[in-house]
Amino acid sequence: MTQVLERFLKYVQCATQSDPHTHTTPSTPEQTVFAHQLADEMREIGMSDVSVDENSYVMGFLPSNIEKEVPVLGFIAHMDTSPDFSGKDVKPRLVEYKGGDILLNEELDIAITLESSPELKNFIGDTLVVTDGTTLLGADDKAGIAEIMTAMEYLIQHPEIKHGKIAVCITPDEEIGEGADHFDLEKFGAKYAYTMDGGEKGCLEYENFNAAYAKITFTGKNYHPGYAKNRMVNSIALSQYFLANMPKREVPEATEGYEGFFHVYTIKGGVESTEIEMIIRDFDFDSFSRRKKLIENLVTDMVKKFGDVVKLELRDQYANMLEKIEPVRFVVDIARQAMMDCDVKPAIQPIRGGTDGVRLSYMGMPTPNLFSGAMNMHGKYEYVSVDTLESAVKVIVRISELYVNL
């Protein structure tokens, strides 16, 4: 099991941030370099039919070692790290955690505090991998890659463990919502799969937000401010009016669990034109529809009040995978049983976001999400427990065994 840590420490030192602005696949050349490194490693450990396609999706397979025919099982992780924070020159280090805050960088006075990360109390006695406070760690999702690769090597080295055919895919650009864009389901061949892209140990997720994107553009008229009376239309003021009429408590910083929200994440412009971008999220489809309708109605009301100065672009992004998982709940039951067999307490919870598995489920391959161990993702406070890395490897191996009984 030390191999999973060695792999992880090696992987995180490869810079693979995705970039939403390049409009290429992969969105950054570093992902292609890493893809070929992973493919070489797959071949070295004995996986078959290894390939890297033109979009840098890495695939490899373990042939079945049983006579019985069972559905092909898939495991998926993503190679890119979030564009939200630097993933270059990552300097991971190990901390034997005994409690309290974790000082990441004394010179810059950067620390993971118990106040901001109360989950730390669950890791007392564990070895944690942390950053130096100047980059993210990359456990999202290089932890998942390390776990899958280590589990595949373990199965190859232990042929006494019986399993059907296993397919592995490492995808690019998941962090910018494009991880499933060029996923070759036919080549992958799996009937069911799991993404290793969750958080704390035991995490088992198979329902997620319904998601939409909205861009609202406000058009103004600019005049010399000294002579602007009854002439100027300030688009900034129009955007303020819009925001003032939005629900105040239905925002990410005030919601949790199954609560939905509106999240305004960009506002830019001047007197002539101002643009707001937001995302809309809700688990319940009817409530999700009402949220979208609220935005549409607010824009319509502003047009009636101020004239044709507001335009809305509204589009759906992804849907709740629960609809696709419910008819095949045994994929969840197998994962739950595998965790219990490995002394991991299952923690079934909704995903307050999305993963590749959401779109893959709607493409015809039901794909729940399992824990990888990444904590405080997308920033300098990211960390992962070595014990969780090792537990995830065991769970992957056990799931592979249990599928023989399908």
Domains of the chain, earliest start first? 2-207+321-405 (3.40.630.10), 210-318 (3.30.70.360)
What does the pLDDT profile of the chain (406 residues) look like in tens digits? 579 999 999 999 999 999 999 999 999 999 999 999 999 999 999 999 999 999 999 999 999 999 999 999 999 999 999 998 999 999 999 999 999 999 999 999 999 999 999 999 999 999 999 999 999 999 999 999 999 999 999 999 999 999 999 999 999 999 998 999 999 999 999 999 999 998 999 999 999 999 999 999 999 999 999 999 999 999 999 999 999 999 999 999 999 999 999 999 999 999 999 999 999 999 999 999 999 999 999 999 999 999 999 999 999 988 999 999 999 999 999 999 999 999 999 999 898 877 889 999 999 999 999 999 999 999 999 999 999 999 999 999 999 999 998 7
Q: Report how far residue 274's alpha carbon sits from residue 218's, in angstroms, rounded to the nearest whole number.
A: 5
Do residues 172 and 356 make contact, with C-beta atoms less than 8 angstroms apart?
A: no
Neighbour tally for 305: CB within 10 Å: 11
Question: Of 301, 282, 304, 306, which is closest to residue 292 (Cα–Cα)?
Answer: 282
Predicted TM-score of the model (pTM)? 0.88
44 is catalytic: no
174 is catalytic: yes
Give the per-residue pLDDT at 283: 94
Q: Which of 174, 175, 282, 356 is catalytic?
A: 174
Give the per-residue pLDDT at 1: 57
Torsion of CA 257, 259, 265, 271, to 10 degrees: -160
Residues linked to residue 196 through DSSP beta bridges, in sequence order: 370
Cβ burial, residue 24 (10 Å; 0-12/13-18/19+): exposed
256-266 burial code (b ≥16 CB/10 A, e <16): eeeebbbebee
State the maximum Cα–Cα separation within the chain, in Å, rounded to a whole number: 86
Q: Report how far residue 49's alpha carbon sits from residue 42's, in angstroms, rounded to the nearest whole number.
A: 10
Neighbour tally for 228: CB within 10 Å: 14
Question: Of 343, 341, 399, which is closest to residue 152 (Cα–Cα)?
Answer: 399
200, two tokens: 């704390």
Residues linked to residue 105 through DSSP beta bridges, in sequence order: 110
Question: Using CA of residue 249, residue 199, residue 335, residue 387, what is the dihedral sign?
Answer: negative
Distances (CA, A) of 378 to 128, 136, 208, 275: 17, 6, 19, 25
Q: Report how far residue 88's alpha carbon sits from residue 138's, in angstroms, rounded to the nearest whole number.
A: 10
Give the per-residue pLDDT at 354: 76
Give the per-residue pLDDT at 2: 72
Q: Which of 30, 41, 80, 250 is catalytic?
A: 80
Torsion of CA 83, 174, 323, 281, to 10 degrees: 10
- What is the three-class DSSP state of 102? strand
DSSP for residue 312? E
**Structure-token match 């199965």, residue found:** 155
